[in-house]
Structure 1
């Protein structure tokens, strides 16, 4: 079983909690921004962590640390910030829904890995946000084209080597 993550459209503020943590910049003002009416979106601009599920988890867990209370965002709200509101912040009106004419961008998360197995299907969103990681991505479709199939990139046979080669080329 998988859960599908799909985005939508609008505007908002992009938060990257793991980057702020890595840079020792502190916990971002997500609650204040949301109270001011800004939709929140999550991104990843880190060189150390490229995991949108970890960004979603970090948003809630960082705020728990600051406030010493739980439940600032539901798992559904965090998934929306990582998907629909991210598309919205980019101004992609043709994204964020699975219907004819839309971009057909989505990812499925395995609900049967060692991190995600066990919870009832009705808790799929909570499982994705609070247990899953990028390692649990099973399939990714971009623009209607499958780029990750069964956890493997469909067009780049050795992703780590391709990344190392790209970094080396940039260094000269």
Structure 2
């Protein structure tokens, strides 16, 4: 699914493309025309930016039968700084003075993430981690998820089920 942003670029949601059987999105063509790559999720089934990043590269591997279309660092940038830019949030997407302090950390001791060398952190995040590996999330400098527990919503599954029930009527 392609989502237009209020900033620059087009947001790619490759898992939605896959789910809807729409095919592989035109990320390479858009990027070749100068559009920044940004990743998001508009899925009703899975919201996992690690999976979106992984899907970008793996989809292109399937299409072209070659590897190495994007580096793990470029895919993480598409899911963070470039995604913020696509939303028009110039003060986000980087850890530096004056920027919003939005970031997520992942556990490096799960069955998916244990073992790689620390210098392979980006590759571990993109090609192994999932949303289940998120250990901390900080938004505007405030901890929202600490040690895997949401601090603002005590029962996330129940809150999601309740919200969906309201939407269904």
Q: Structure 2-normalised TM-score?
A: 0.93
CA positional deviation for 1:112: 1.5
1:170 aligns with 2:160: no
Whole-Å separation in 2 of the counterparts to 1:116 and 1:11: 33
- Other structure's SS at 1:123 match: helix
- Other structure's SS at 2:136 match: strand
**Match for residue 93 of structure 1 among 87, 90, 99:** 90
The 5 Å alignment of 1:46-125 reads 46-125=43-122
Q: RMSD value over aligned CA atoms? A: 1.0
- Other structure's SS at 2:106 match: strand
Task: List 4+ stretches of structure 1 deviating above 3 A.
Answer: none
CA positional deviation for 1:100: 3.1
- Other structure's SS at 1:98 match: coil
**Match for residue 38 of structure 2 among 38, 41, 46:** 41
Unaligned runs of 5+ in 1: 1-9
Whole-Å separation in 2 of the counterparts to 1:47 and 1:26: 18
Whole-Å separation in 2 of the counterparts to 1:98 and 1:63: 30
CA positional deviation for 1:101: 2.6
CA positional deviation for 1:48: 1.0
- Other structure's SS at 1:93 match: coil
Pairs aligned (count): 163
Whole-Å separation in 1 of the counterparts to 2:32 and 2:98: 34
